[in-house]
Amino acid sequence: MNNSRYGNVMAALSFVIWGLLPIYYRYLPNAAMDELLALRIIGSVPVGILLVFAMTRRWPNWAEIWQDQKSLGYAFLASSLMCISWVAFIWALTNNRVIDASLGFFIGPLISVALGVFVLGDKLSKGKFAAILLAAVGVIYQVVLYGKLPMVALTMGLFFSLYGLFKKKVNYNWSTTLFVEALLLTPIACGYLLFKQVTVGNLSSTVDLGTFLLYLGSAPVTILPLIFYSIAIRITSLSSVGLMQYIEPSLQFILAVLFFGELFDSVKAVTFAFIWVGLLLTVIEGVFSRARRGKMPAHPV
């Protein structure tokens, strides 16, 4: 399997897992987002250390990490951007707004593709261009009809796409990058929880053992798809990964409408229809492109 195809498989796995995450967070209605984020960051450190050891058979090389301070800075920036997207995402999931989360990750690929083209120099095919145009029309239609921007969705999409952009600038291997991202934010997370404990009293996440374990469990359930995503983002183009992201919101949309009973009105139907037609065009283009490559005569030796 070549690198591009392997990267696409890894991206697909990450987005399938993220697409199913609403099921987990249904057990945490109206969660304290600040505590959930802090415990998720703290819990990611031991998971990250074990991950690095499992993949390299050695512990993290601190000297090597410190020597590349530019990558250290990019890793800190990337992890901070991811936190913003993650907070918006989890807020939507724990407040019966899964459709909003779904829309956010339909918008995200548009931004990823645009960043890939204008910042990293990726080539934009006609199918991808049509997908971006149709999705933009769908979002604009919703803005005009509702009279307001879908802020939760835009926050999720924008900051997750920026996270992917800055991850491509980090020179560590993917497992070290994940570990460093969590490690850099851990002092801030620990300091925040200590400050809140002193000033407010008992943390809501520690009221009972079950809630605390669910908060702490958010680390491994979010690290797993990040593993696959980190592999994909290193070996395939940002625009390709961005379009693969459509798997995630499609699954979230199905969960929201069929299983969680969220309202899906005609305005949202039009928005999603534009997006899905655009996605269908990219799929058709990919099928024909592979068929043409298969029919091309071999070069003479």
**Tens digit of pLDDT for each residue in 130-163?**
888 888 888 788 888 877 777 888 898 889 889 8
Residue 148: CB partners within 8 Å, gap ≥ 6?
none
d(CA 178, CA 56): 14
Cα–Cα separations (whole angstroms), residue 2 to 5, 55, 236: 6, 20, 10
Provide the residue type at 116 as one letter.
G
Question: Does 219 score more than 50 pLDDT?
Answer: yes
- DSSP per-residue letters across 111-151: HHHHHHHHTS-----HHHHHHHHHHHHHHHHHHHHHTS--H
d(CA 227, CA 215): 20
Treating both helix axes as pointing N-terminal to C-terminal, what angle do 126-146 and 98-118 enclose, rounded to 10 degrees?
A: 140
> What pLDDT digit, counting tens, does each position of 29-58 carry?
777 888 888 888 888 888 877 876 776 677
Please name which of 170, 18, 7, 189 lies closest in space to residue 92, comparing C-alpha atoms: 18
User: Token pair of 269, please?
Assistant: 């139907």
> What pLDDT digit, counting tens, does each position of 58-87 carry?
777 788 888 999 999 999 999 999 999 988
Residue 74: CB partners within 8 Å, gap ≥ 6?
166, 167, 169, 170
How many other C-beta atoms lie within 10 A of the C-beta of residue 159? 22
If one compares 300 and 92, the residue with the highest pLDDT of the two is 92
* pLDDT for the residue numbered 296: 55
d(CA 194, CA 263): 39
d(CA 258, CA 247): 17
Nearest-5° Cα angle at 22, 18 to 25: 115
